[in-house]
């Protein structure tokens, strides 16, 4: 008599805040990496990223904003500077990478309601997919910036390779924030509606419309409260000025990124079993 195979059974226990078995959880997440890729592609397709106009608008939007802000700076300041325009454009591109990750992540769990109710899978896949979508949308803007940089004649240098770890740190921070805010939005639905106002305020408080070197010492002491401050400063030094970033800024940005990632993952995993009755 042949031994019949037994199908795996998912057991749903009453909700209790706490972490699941992490080893099994991460193995299950890794086994579904192809699903994360396909889910991200479907999201990009829904946003028409696979069309020419979809990709062009992705680049034109922050580019137009940088042009408008630069004109305002010229009108108010009474002078123009190609380096300042390059700084403004580069930092806007990186900032919108973080902002788009937050926007996509905030609605990722609620948007995946049908999947959550009908399929057993690690729910953290949803904000991870949102972060992956934002990263894919960000990469073409880097190419566009290098074209702008070449046109205005800024010098090149090997120090620009420091942009790679800066992007990795930014992606880590954006992922942590995406995971955290996706969970918060399950319990407080107004989080997603408040996010655009928060992002705009964060933009003005970050070194985007101005460079860090232009700030007074008494104002710079408040930079420790802005997670993007050291990252944007490192990004500008690397891509605009072709100089190595300050190691203190990189380490500070890395500390913020790891902090958000650890807190976001812990909070998300500890509440994940409650999502089915909340969405």
- Tens of pLDDT, residue by residue over 230-259, are 999 999 999 998 899 999 989 999 999 999
Please give the average per-residue pLDDT across 45-65, as a whole number. 66
Among 262, 209, 216, residue whose Cα is nearest residue 236 = 209
- Count CB-CB contacts under 10 A for residue 247: 9
pLDDT of the residue at 15: 47
Indicate whether 79 pLDDT > 80. Answer: no
Please give the average per-residue pLDDT across 54-80, as a whole number. 68
Q: How sure is the predictor about 11, in pLDDT bands with cuts at 50, 70 and 90?
A: low
* Residue 9 maps to a domain: no
Number of domains in the chain: 1
* Residue 255 maps to a domain: yes
Is the CB of residue 212 less than 8 Å from the CB of residue 220?
Answer: yes
* Residue 166 maps to a domain: yes
CB burial of residue 28 (10 Å; 0-12, 13-18, 19+): middle
pLDDT of the residue at 28: 84
pLDDT of the residue at 24: 86
Indicate whether 7 pLDDT > 60. Answer: no
Long-range CB pairs of 110-114 (<8 Å, 24+ gap) are 110/185, 110/186, 110/189, 110/192, 110/279, 112/279, 113/279
Structural domain harbouring 199: 22-277
* Residue 2 maps to a domain: no
* Residue 188 maps to a domain: yes
Which span out of 9-23, 111-125, 186-200 was modeled with the highest average pLDDT?
186-200
Indicate whether 33 pLDDT > 80. Answer: yes
- Count CB-CB contacts under 10 A for residue 101: 28
Is the CB of residue 131 less than 8 Å from the CB of residue 174?
Answer: yes
- Find the helix or strand (DSSP H, E) in which 232 lies: helix 228-235
* Residue 16 maps to a domain: no
Indicate whether 4 pLDDT > 60. Answer: no
Q: Where are the beta strands (DSSP E) in 62-196?
A: none
Query: How big is the CA angle at 149 (ends 228 and 132), to the nearest 5 degrees?
Result: 45
* Residue 251 maps to a domain: yes
Q: What is the pTM of this model?
A: 0.83
Question: For 257-278, how does the pLDDT look when each residue is reduced to its tens digit (9 = 90+)?
Answer: 999 999 999 999 888 877 766 6
* Residue 244 maps to a domain: yes
Indicate whether 1 pLDDT > 70. Answer: no
Rg (CA), the chain: 21
Indicate whether 47 pLDDT > 70. Answer: no
Q: How sure is the predictor about 80, in pLDDT bands with cuts at 50, 70 and 90?
A: low
């Amino acid at each position: 008599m042949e031994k019949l195979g037994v199908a795996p059974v998912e057991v749903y226990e009453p909700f209790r805040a706490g972490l699941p078995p992490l080893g099994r959880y991460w193995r299950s997440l890794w086994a579904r990496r192809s699903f994360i890729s396909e889910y991200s592609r479907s999201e990009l397709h829904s946003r028409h990223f696979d069309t020419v106009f979809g990709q062009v608008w992705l680049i034109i939007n922050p580019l137009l904003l940088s042009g408008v802000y630069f004109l305002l700076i010229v009108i108010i300041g009474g002078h123009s500077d190609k380096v300042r325009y390059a700084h403004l454009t580069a930092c806007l591109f990186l900032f919108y990478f973080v902002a788009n990750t937050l926007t996509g992540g905030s609605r990722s769990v609620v948007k995946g309601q049908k999947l959550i109710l009908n399929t057993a899978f690690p729910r953290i896949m949803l904000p991870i997919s949102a972060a992956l979508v934002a990263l894919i949308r960000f990469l073409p803007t880097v190419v566009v910036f290098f074209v702008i940089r070449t046109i205005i004649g800024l010098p090149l240098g090997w120090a620009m390779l420091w942009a790679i770890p800066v992007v990795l740190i930014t992606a880590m921070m954006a992922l942590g924030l995406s995971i955290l805010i996706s969970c918060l939005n399950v319990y407080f639905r107004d989080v997603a509606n408040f996010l655009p106002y928060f992002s705009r305020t964060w933009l003005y408080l970050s070194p985007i419309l101005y460079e860090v070197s232009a700030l007074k010492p008494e104002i710079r002491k408040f930079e420790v409260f802005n997670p993007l401050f050291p990252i944007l400063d490192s990004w500008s030094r690397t891509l605009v000025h072709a100089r190595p970033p300050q190691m203190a800024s990189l380490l500070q940005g890395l500390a913020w990124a790891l902090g958000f990632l650890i807190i976001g993952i812990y909070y998300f995993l500890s509440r994940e079993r409650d999502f089915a009755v909340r969405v």
